[in-house]
Every structure is written in structure tokens, then in C-alpha cells.
């Protein structure tokens, strides 16, 4: 049996708007093994959520369109399946925890009914059996089953997020996509939710894609990390490789923006400038307008993938030997 549960090859996604074509994802490649957790890191607008929605084929059309690429899940190309086949996969084999628990839940349905709904559809159980399973799922995420008859407005933000996790895990999916699952929560609740997700992942051997821009969460949770910039993965490595030996100037900039507990630094070194406008991406390497090492060739030539060591790849002309870094990286 192939150990890769997900393979994305050369994915390109555009949003066609009145202001122009938004090039959201540009030739993205990604591999995820069974039971593995991949952190997808990058600033807002890097294309992380679009990538996740593409896997589930939930890109709103119009304006969104998957221009090209292949997304293999369990050996099947999801982009070739019918809508009916996709419905049997969503929430069943692939689940997603959306960014904001406040808007993910239906305000006029009890939380028990919302968890049971997916179980009924995908596992063909009666309503009573599905409710029994829903009660179990609530207990699993640390909510008393007596609260199954309550409505979303009766729960705090952290409790709502637990309900959303219970819905996502109710059918034991092989792949769980979590889109910034802790953004709306305070720090102590964040830690509890992450701990819960890790425990459930280990229990069910679920592969997970964790979308975040918090490198602390990545360090806590992930096995592999993909750093995204302007719709492409510019560095991909194991957790240890990325934290001990980051290579891409952008990745180094992300780490330079975090306060260190070991060193006493006067000022942090943030990455200058802003994410490029996706309707008008820079030529050549998309990071060159913000890169302190950029030279003329960076404006003209796109970098290829360079393998630094086993499992660690980077897209940068420095590592192709085309340009020299202006300081030691």
C-alpha cells in the first residue's frame, strides 16, 4: 500500500475578478504521508486556505477556478471525480476545521444534531445511533454529552471550536485539514485545543495539514513544514531541519521576526515590505522585491527546486549557485 495519502502536483488556482486575475496558487507541489502532520506556514494571502479548499474542491466558482494540476488522495485524482463522489469524501475521508468556529456552526441546530448529521449521511446509521456516536464525540473532545441538546450560542469560543473538531473527526477521516484552528481563541484554550488535536491524531492515525502563521504552533504539532509564499512552496523540510537550519531568505525572515528567549536583542528584524499583489506578481523570484540578497537575475529567472539534504528542499538562486548571499545564511 502506498504510504502517501496525499500528493499534489503542479496545482494552479486563479480567481477571475473585475480587478484582474488573482494568481492565488502557482504550481504547488506537496506530499503527505499517512499519520503525518504537515504545517503549512506563510503570511496572510500566501494561498494556504485556497490550497486547502482545492483539496476538498470547495473553491467558489465563479470567481475561483482550478486551472491545472493533479490532487491524488489515496491514489485517486480528486479533480477527476464527480461532485457526487466528492460529497462522499468530504467530511468522511477528508475533513476540514474552518478558521472561525463562530461562523462554522449552524445557529438554529443543536450541536448534537450537527455532529450526528455527517455520521448519518456517511455511515448510514439511524438518527438514534448517530446521536449516540455524537454524544461519544462530545465526550471525546471534553464536553459533557448532556450538552448535545444545546445550541451554539450557549457555548464559549473554545467550546465551539471543540464542537467543530468533534464534527470533523466524527467519521474518522484519513486526512484532517485544520485552517488556523486556534486563531480566535485565547492562549490557554489554544494549548488545550492543540493538545486535543494531537491526541486524537495519534489515536486515529489521522494525517493532518495544519494551516497557520504561528511557528510556535508548528513546533508543537508538526512533523514536516512547508513554507508558502505568493502561492508556491518555497521551502519544505522536516521540523528539525527547518528550525535548526532554515535556508530560504523568507524563512530566515520569519524566524528573525520572533523574539528569542535565549538572546537579548535590541530590535527584531522583520521582513521589509508587504506580500505582493496576487493580481500583479513580480517577475522572476516572487520574493525578490523584499529580499536583501536579491540581484538583477532574481527579477528575471524563477528559481528551481534545490535539494539541500534528504527531505529538505528550497527554491532560491543562492542554492543553485547562480548568485552569492550578501551575508552568511
- Write out pLDDT tens, residues 193-218: 888 888 888 888 899 999 998 898 99
Q: In the prediction, which pLDDT does 238 show?
A: 97
CA distance 71 to 8: 5
- Whether residue 29 is predicted with pLDDT greater than 70 in this model: the reply is yes
Q: In the prediction, which pLDDT does 182 show?
A: 82
Q: What is the pTM of this model?
A: 0.92
Q: In the prediction, which pLDDT does 168 show?
A: 92
Q: What is the pLDDT of residues 125-171, one digit of tens each?
A: 999 999 999 999 999 888 999 999 999 999 998 899 899 999 998 99
Q: Which of 47-51, 91-95, 269-273 has the lowest mean pLDDT?
A: 269-273
Which residues are 207's β-sheet partners? 175
Are the beta carbons of 10 and 27 closer than 8 angstroms?
A: yes
Q: In the prediction, which pLDDT does 248 show?
A: 96
Are the beta carbons of 46 and 212 closer than 8 angstroms?
A: no
CA distance 82 to 14: 21
H-type helices in the chain, by residue range?
A: 48-55, 83-89, 101-104, 111-123, 127-140, 157-169, 187-204, 215-221, 239-244, 249-256, 296-300
Give the confidence band of 102 by pLDDT, cuts at 50, 70, 90.
confident
Residue with cell 485565547: 186
Q: In the prediction, which pLDDT does 67 show?
A: 96
Q: Find the helix packing angle between 127-140 and 111-123, rounded to 10°.
A: 120
CA distance 220 to 214: 10
- Whether residue 32 is predicted with pLDDT greater than 70 in this model: the reply is yes
- Whether residue 252 is predicted with pLDDT greater than 70 in this model: the reply is yes
Q: In the prediction, which pLDDT does 260 show?
A: 73
Please compute, for residue 167, the number of CA atoms within 13 A of its CA located in the half-sphere on the CB side.
27
Give the confidence band of 327 by pLDDT, cuts at 50, 70, 90.
confident
Cβ-proximal residues to 145 (8 Å cutoff; 6+ apart), any chain: 135, 136, 138, 139
Amino acid at each position: 500500500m502506498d504510504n502517501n495519502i496525499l500528493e499534489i502536483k503542479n496545482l494552479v488556482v486563479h480567481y477571475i475578478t473585475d480587478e484582474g486575475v488573482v494568481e492565488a496558487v502557482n504550481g504547488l507541489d506537496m506530499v503527505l504521508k499517512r499519520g503525518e502532520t504537515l504545517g503549512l506556514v506563510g503570511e496572510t494571502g500566501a494561498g494556504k486556505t485556497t490550497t486547502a479548499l482545492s483539496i476538498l474542491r470547495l473553491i467558489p466558482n465563479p470567481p475561483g477556478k482550478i486551472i491545472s494540476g493533479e490532487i491524488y488522495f489515496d491514489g485517486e485524482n480528486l479533480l477527476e471525480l464527480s461532485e457526487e463522489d466528492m460529497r462522499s469524501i468530504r467530511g468522511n475521508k477528508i475533513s476540514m476545521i474552518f478558521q472561525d468556529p463562530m461562523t462554522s456552526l449552524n445557529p438554529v441546530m443543536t450541536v448534537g444534531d450537527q455532529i450526528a448529521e455527517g455520521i448519518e449521511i456517511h455511515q448510514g446509521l439511524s438518527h438514534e445511533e448517530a446521536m449516540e456516536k455524537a454524544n461519544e464525540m462530545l465526550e471525546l473532545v471534553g464536553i459533557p454529552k448532556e450538552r448535545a441538546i444545546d445550541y451554539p450560542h450557549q457555548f464559549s469560543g473554545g467550546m465551539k471550536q471543540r464542537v467543530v473538531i468533534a464534527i470533523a473527526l466524527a467519521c474518522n477521516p484519513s486526512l484532517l485539514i485544520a485552517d488556523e484552528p486556534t486563531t480566535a481563541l485565547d492562549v490557554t484554550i489554544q494549548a488545550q485545543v492543540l493538545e486535543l488535536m494531537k491526541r486524537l491524531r495519534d489515536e486515529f492515525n489521522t494525517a493532518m495539514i495544519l494551516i497557520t502563521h504561528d511557528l510556535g504552533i508548528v513546533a508543537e504539532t508538526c512533523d514536516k513544514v512547508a513554507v508558502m509564499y505568493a502561492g508556491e512552496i518555497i521551502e519544505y523540510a522536516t521540523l528539525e531541519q527547518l528550525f535548526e537550519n532554515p535556508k530560504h531568505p523568507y524563512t530566515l525572515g520569519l524566524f528573525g521576526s520572533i523574539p528569542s528567549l535565549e538572546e537579548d536583542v535590541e530590535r527584531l528584524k522583520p521582513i521589509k515590505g508587504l506580500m505582493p499583489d496576487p493580481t500583479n506578481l513580480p517577475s522572476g523570484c516572487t520574493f525578490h522585491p523584499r529580499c536583501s540578497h536579491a540581484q538583477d537575475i532574481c527579477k528575471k529567472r524563477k528559481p528551481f527546486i534545490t535539494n539541500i539534504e534528504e527531505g529538505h528542499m528550497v527554491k532560491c538562486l543562492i542554492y543553485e549557485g547562480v548568485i552569492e548571499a550578501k551575508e552568511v545564511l
